[in-house]
Amino acid sequence: MKKTVAKIIQISDIIQWNEKKELELSPKYQRNSVWNEKAKAYLIDTIIRGLPIPPIFLRQKTDIITKSTTREIIDGQQRIRAILEFIVSENFSIKKEYNKEYGGKKYSELDEDTQEAMLDYEILAEVVTEKDESCIYDMFARLNSNNYVLNKQEIRNSKYWGDFKVFIYRLSSQYREFFLNNKLLSDNDCARMRDAELITSMVIVLKEGIVSETPAFVDSIYAKYDKNFDDIDVVENRFNSVMEILMSIYTYLNGNLSCFENKNYFFTLYCTVLNQMYGLVSSDLPRYPKFNHTVIKDNLSHLIDSLIQFIHDYDNNIADKDNSRGLYYDFSEFSKHHKQRTTSKAERINRITFLNSNIGSIIDDDE
């Protein structure tokens, strides 16, 4: 098979090819348009923001009789269709939940600078000149096959396009560096959308309280808030407020995190701080006035001291296999609940209750 050649094309090139009927969007092996309007609008928002999109693969064919060139799309049909439908036929507008500035506008309603920037937007194209149809079929099949099974979050990413998904992925982008720097997640985790999965769990607790987080339940949350997520501002403000405290804690500990370097323990800490600041939905876990969201920043040193003491007790008791201190069982159960059935409501309640009560006992001792 002939090698592909990488070229940079602009959206204006695609439009010109389409106008001259030099673009073949539906070769025999391709699917018809399957993207819904939200998926298309999400792509357009990505382009308007100047963010990259995946490369397209096309086969370039030259007719020596007519001296004309056509371009057959091997991979990227849905993206090109969305671009043409927005700029040329104006079949849909930008969604407000994706872009507050341009929400509700079609291409002709955008300012001239934005229109020009869209036309100048560059896309990487892998150009193939292979004539053998069997080779092209093989390339298409390979491009549309995954060498791994999609996880649940990756499936949700392709299924939902509404307010909740956009909110989750905005938070994921905002806090990815924090997760990576503190080794809560790896680059590969983020590539497989496990950062979005963790953020989803954190937002669900904020909205719904402690639940058994089955895949079906998470899907129901995405579906429930796909069209309308009315209290998004309240949820975002509370989430960011809790994360601000957690980031201060992790900065102070400066890598001396012990068990809290693990994402499951981090989740427990998040739930505990959320409970102290705002309370958990349908929960009667104790709260301590000095950690209420209105004053917690003034008392942050007390929270940090209590966590340092907890880490010290955890390390000592987990290492104390002969149970000479008498707390080995309690801390070993706390550890076990972070390794087994980590999305079970019962296990989550047990470990949050344990951390929450330990913070409380340390505060009581100080006072």
For 227-242, what is each residue's pLDDT tens digit?
A: 888 899 999 999 999 9
Residue 24 pLDDT: 87
Say whether both 218 and 337 belong to one domain. yes
Say whether both 210 and 117 belong to one domain. no
Parent domain of 34: 5-143
Say whether both 201 and 329 belong to one domain. yes
Q: Is the confidence at residue 260, as pLDDT, over 80? A: yes
**How many residues does this entry show for the chain?**
367
By the 10 Å C-beta count (0-12 exposed, 13-18 middle, 19+ buried), 6 is classed as: exposed
Distance CA 357, CA 280 (A): 15
Say whether both 165 and 126 belong to one domain. no
More confident residue, 298 or 325: 298
pLDDT tens digits, residue range 197-230? 999 999 999 999 999 999 999 999 999 998 888 8
Distance CA 73, CA 224 (A): 36
Instruction: Decide: 289 and 281 in contact? Cβ < 8 Å.
Output: no
Nearest to 236, CA basis, from 166, 143, 284? 166
Distance CA 314, CA 306 (A): 12
Domain boundary among 143, 178, 207: 143
Say whether both 304 and 176 belong to one domain. yes
Say whether both 137 and 188 belong to one domain. no
Phi-psi region of 145 (alpha: psi -120 to 50; beta: other; left: phi over 0): beta
Distance CA 114, CA 129 (A): 34
pLDDT tens digits, residue range 156-173? 887 787 889 889 988 998
Task: Please report where in the chains the tokens 């001259």 appear, as a residue.
Answer: 20
Say whether both 338 and 196 belong to one domain. yes
Distance CA 362, CA 299 (A): 14
Residue 339 pLDDT: 85
| CA distance to 269, 323, 343, 347, per residue, from 338 (Å) | 12, 20, 9, 8
Domain boundary among 119, 143, 167: 143
Q: Taking residues 5-10, report their average pLDDT.
A: 92
Say whether both 337 and 290 belong to one domain. yes
Neighbouring residues of 260: CB distance < 8 A, sequence distance ≥ 6: 250, 253, 266, 269, 307, 311
Domain boundary among 143, 161, 195: 143
Say whether both 324 and 305 belong to one domain. yes
Q: Taking residues 167-189, report their average pLDDT.
A: 92
Into how many domains does the chain fold? 2
Say whether both 171 and 116 belong to one domain. no
Distance CA 222, CA 244 (A): 25
Say whether both 167 and 136 belong to one domain. no
Say whether both 129 and 165 belong to one domain. no
Q: Taking residues 30-53, report their average pLDDT.
A: 83
DSSP state of 4: P
Local confidence band at 118 (pLDDT 50, 70, 90 cut-offs): very high
